[in-house]
Structure 1
Amino acid sequence: MGDSAPRELISLADDEGNSVTVNVLGPSASWSAGLNAEIVVKTPFVAGRIDLALSVSKLESWANALDRLDAGEDVAWMEMSRGPSIFIQLTGERDCPEVVVEDESGSMVTVRVPLVPPDDWIADHRQRLHQVMNYWVPMLSG
């Protein structure tokens, strides 16, 4: 990746055109310990995006979520914080993995995206997280 800033913390997509991504946009101007980010959902039926604030603790909790997913457990990421939450169910309502993006505190909208990620997706996301942490965290204070 060289010196370019890593942008995609999460990138889950399938061949059907369904995807959920979390993009890091850069340091927050209003919060020195945070990163501006966005969750982007795209499907043939619905598309949307929502702003997200990331902290070091949220990035660390994503690392824990990846460990639980690797152990075969469903996860809820950012469920206890203000703002949107992401749930990953390894076997969803349609007998395939599902990503659920919920914005209960804001728009009160929930989007359920069934998708089948590639076999190595957890290792790929650990690498994405490692790149984001190494690049962005040293820039944050607090």
Structure 2
Amino acid sequence: MAEPFVINMFWDGVMDLIQFSDGDTSVRVSVLGRQGPGILPVHDLLDAEILVNSSFISGRLDICFHLSDLESWSTALDDLEIGRSVEWLDTGNGPVIRIQSADDDSDVPVFVVEDASGSGASAIIPIAVGGGWIERQREQLREVMRMWPSEVVKTSPGAYEWRS
């Protein structure tokens, strides 16, 4: 049985956007901060890292995503809540996180982290997430959005300005 989950959103200035764990195995996406604070248009890009840990493998992958990708993560959580499998960050040229919902073949969700365009590596990690895991992810998403609100608006192709 999975150990109780404790939200650990902050440490050393880092905030978790995604944190799935069963005590022994975990997949996290930790936001490190803005890529270029105060610089248009990169102000709304977030530097982050994907961390995978299990008794078999450990890995870390640097990523960067736009604050608008948080909306797609919110939509992914909606889909997960109704039992659909999801992909997040699949922009065609970077890492992808897939979550395959528990089904008849597996009683736990399976997390797939793939870096096809970079290292070519992928990891498939089943995690017994326990009850309430979707709401925990929603709370972490809300905290990240509070910490790093969108402050840039694209006014036309290649043109950006500060949100009023």
Q: Shorter-chain TM-score: what band?
A: 0.7 to 0.9
Q: Please say which structure displays the higher CA radius of gyration.
A: 2
Deviations 1:29-55, CA, capped at 9 Å, x for gaps: 382220100000001111010011121
Deviations 1:45-82 (A, max 9, x none): 11010011121221110000000000110101112342
The match for 1:47 among 44, 50, 58 is 58
Give the C-alpha shift of residue 141 in structure 1: 2.6
Task: Give the Cα separation in 1 of the matches to 2:72 and 2:100.
Answer: 17
Instruction: Supply the distance in 2 between the matched residues of 1:6 and 1:135 (Cα, whole angstroms).
Output: 11
Query: Is 1:18 the equivalent of 2:19?
Result: no
Instruction: Give the aligned CA root-mean-square deviation in angstroms.
Output: 2.1
CA distance in 2, matches of 1:134, 1:11: 17
Q: Secondary structure at the match of 2:33?
A: strand
Given residue 41 of structure 1, which amino acid in structure 2 is its aligned partner?
A: V
- Using the alignment, how far apart are the partners of 2:72 and 2:129 within structure 1? 21
Deviations 1:68-103 (A, max 9, x none): 000110101112342111000113765421100000
Q: How does 1:1-142 map to 2 (within 5 A)?
A: 7-15=15-23, 17-29=24-36, 31-91=42-102, 94-138=106-150, 140-142=151-153
Runs of 4+ in 1 over 3 A off after TM superposition: 92-95
Larger helix proportion, structure 1 or 2? 1
Larger relative contact order (C-alpha < 8 A, sep ≥ 6)?
1
Alignment: residue pair count: 138
* TM-score normalised by the chain length of structure 1: 0.88
CA distance in 2, matches of 1:80, 1:55: 11
Moved more, 61-70 or 81-90: 81-90
How many percent of aligned residue pairs carry the same amino acid? 38
Specify every segment of 5 or more residues in structure 2 that has no aligned partner in the other structure, as ranges. 1-8, 154-164
